[in-house]
Amino acid sequence: MANGSVCLLENVRFYKDEEKNGKDFAKQLSEYADLYVNDAFGTAHRAHASTAGVTEFLSPSVAGFLLQKELDYLDGAVSNPDRPFCAIVGGSKVSSKIGVIETLLNKADKVILGGGMIFTFYKALGKDVGSSLVEDDKIDLAKELMAKAEEKGVKLLLPSDVVVADAFAADAKTQTVSVDAIPDGWMGLDIGPDSVKEFQKELNECKSVIWNGPMGVFEMDAFAKGTFAIADTLASLDGITIIGGGDSVAAVEKAGLADKMSHISTGGGASLELLEGKVLPGVDALDEA
């Protein structure tokens, strides 16, 4: 190859030894190079041949600019945030965000919860939730998380009103109700306007905010207002705003506000694991990051 030229190899995930982190395959990859730069944050949580194994054969092995930026923002925001620091955690299930919530309860001043997971917390508080999504096997965990927040002095905020529908459909009948008055047979699919106002007030006091998970089923216009309102609030915030991957990024982009945020993560699974305080194999394998 001439100086300044680029060689693009075939997609390594077509090879079975990539995901197995096969040593021979990693060595074969290393023979193309003199040094290794990992700039793929979205795969840094995987111990694969091209993300971890190859570093055994190449030195130096270092982080690229994008990977370094992700680590600076995501790890920095949690480890040493400007305060007050608020974490917004949404999404459909508590089970997929347990580690994130537990970690952030040790770091944040406030934690705002939204999305389908809130109904497991409401049920834990003894409220009727209609036909809303509930993880019955996580009710005790929800109680433990609320108790931990109180013990740590962290303000744990749940919506006070929700938009409910008579079916999980874009053209369903809807109404906005208090969380204490969800009708039988109706399901909550977004946070309500009172909750938006309460959350905006809390967020406007903050110097750092990290957001992972939407407030409702934003893919349907009828249930996107809560998520878009939170995005709009963060866009005008005078502080650090970090969108932690996955559906949150899609929501911010759909709202047309991506360029108003301090940082938008490029990795869904990787950002979740980093926020949980886990070591990312693709980062741990590097000489420096």
Same domain, yes or no: 158 and 199: yes
pLDDT tens for each residue of 75-117: 888 889 999 999 999 999 999 999 999 999 999 999 999 999 9
2 falls within a domain: no
Same domain, yes or no: 52 and 88: no
Same domain, yes or no: 54 and 99: no
- Whether residue 25 has pLDDT greater than 90: yes
Same domain, yes or no: 49 and 144: no
pLDDT of residue 245: 73
Same domain, yes or no: 174 and 48: no
Domain that holds residue 58: 12-67+280-284
256 falls within a domain: no
pLDDT tens for each residue of 65-83: 999 999 999 988 888 999 9
**How many domains does the chain divide into?**
2
Same domain, yes or no: 234 and 92: yes
Alpha helices in the chain (DSSP H): 16-19, 23-30, 65-70, 76-79, 98-105, 118-124, 139-152, 193-203, 225-235, 247-254, 268-275, 281-284
Q: For the residues 240-257, what does the mean pLDDT come to?
A: 92
Same domain, yes or no: 61 and 91: no
CATH code of the domain containing 102: 3.40.50.1260
> What is the pTM for the complete model shown?
0.92
pLDDT of residue 289: 58
Same domain, yes or no: 91 and 184: yes
- Whether residue 232 has pLDDT greater than 80: yes
Same domain, yes or no: 196 and 107: yes
Same domain, yes or no: 146 and 26: no
253 falls within a domain: no
Same domain, yes or no: 184 and 56: no
- Show contacts of 131-135: CB within 8 Å, 24+ apart: 131/184, 131/185, 131/186, 131/187, 132/164, 132/182, 132/186, 132/187, 132/188, 133/92, 133/93, 133/187, 135/93, 135/94, 135/95
262 falls within a domain: no
73 falls within a domain: no
170 falls within a domain: yes
Same domain, yes or no: 51 and 183: no
DSSP string, 27-44: HHHHTT-SSEEE--GGGT
244 falls within a domain: no
186 falls within a domain: yes
